[in-house]
Amino acid sequence: MDRNFMDEVIEEARQFTEKEIRPFAGDFEQNEQVPRELINKMAKRKYLAAPFPEEYGGLGLDPLYYGYLTEEIGKGCASTRALMTVHTSLVGETLLKWGTKEQKERYLRPMASGEKIAAFALSEPEVGTDAGSVKTSYIKEGNKYILNGKKKWITFGNLADIFIIIASEGKNISAFIAERDFGGITTKPIKGMMAGRAAYIAEIEINNLEIPEENLLGKIGGGFTFICNTALDYGRYSVAWAATAVAGAAVEEMVTYARHRTQFDQKIYKFQTIREIIANATTKYLTSKALCINAGNLRIQGSDEKVFQTTLAKYYSSKIAMEVTTDAIQVFGGNGCTSEYPVERLFREAKIFEIIEGTSQIQQEIISRYALSNFYRKKAKAQ
């Protein structure tokens, strides 16, 4: 893919975000929905299929530039960006990797055009981090599968037309492509969310949902090892950039505010304590972005390190997003505690990144195991 073309895509996305998304993010949250009109505009620009090959209606962006695009959209609105995580990464990229030719032909193009919105249905009322213990069940009857169960915290679940549903039969965990039009799927919006209020987060009731056997994704029993692990890896990469985006937006807000706010007859950026906060926040943001860039480049190369470095980037960026948005509120003072300014929303959104696509504690376990394996220095034998 031509680098100049990809640079143009990112610049266009930056301008699009500044005009169509960032000024209205607070309204989206208040109305508890990303407007369908905006989703259609994003689809027209092929943002919903940014990493898809051109043959499926995509832009063909490589992982690094897809990350840059995620950051630009994420700076404007976390809920709008969340559509790219679930629709484009969790579902779209997973279909690209594991879907049959017929499944790709049937679903990727309408997803690219925005005609169909997709969601990934894994978590349940009693199952979050322990993704291998899903209670939603399936049985085989003739040439179809029958699914029953409940899903919860499904981002864009209340809007979605297509779902990847993870279900179990005994110890076998499998993945299925379901359509709302199949019947047997009822969604209910979850209200009162701390963040992600515009992201159509839903509970899903699955009642005798009939799935044709050609809609099995991957193999029977491969739903966790292959489909979930692949999808969550794509999701972690997207969320790493998303958290970096929120940190970047918080730095922009605190710098802009510090250059305009006057206290004691001078702009507050002239106070050393404020400059220290800005310096530390900028360092954290750029370090987070560097980890994301490294993960993106490794994904392009197909390196064996790509999954671990993605985990590292997701852990660090989510931690940094929380720290930098906290600093931003400190710079804003009392004004930072009201919805009149965006840092209050950024602070709430940042916390979610420490939970979704694997909690920070789970990422710490993975990172610690890596360290214990790779950084152990055996003592030399005494002479």
Active site residues: 357
**What's phi and psi for 140, nearest 5 deg?**
-95, 130
First-residue to last-residue Cα distance in the chain: 58
What pairing do the DSSP bridges indicate for beta strands 185-189 and 202-212?
A: antiparallel
Sort 370 into a burial class: Cβ within 10 Å, 0-12 / 13-18 / 19+: middle
Element (DSSP H or E) covering residue 188: strand 185-189
Question: Helix, strand, or coil here: 300?
Answer: helix
DSSP state of 382: P
Cβ neighbours, 10 Å, residue 315: 25
Rounded Cα gap, residues 272 and 291, in angstroms: 29
CA distances from 101 to 57, 218, 222, 271 (A): 15, 12, 18, 61
CA distances from 128 to 119, 230, 356, 367 (A): 16, 17, 9, 20
What pairing do the DSSP bridges indicate for beta strands 137-141 and 144-154?
A: antiparallel
Question: Helix, strand, or coil here: 148?
Answer: strand
Spell out the residues 6+ positions from residue 163 whose beta carbon is closer than 8 angstroms to its own. Answer: 118, 119, 120, 121, 154, 157, 177, 178, 179, 180, 185, 204
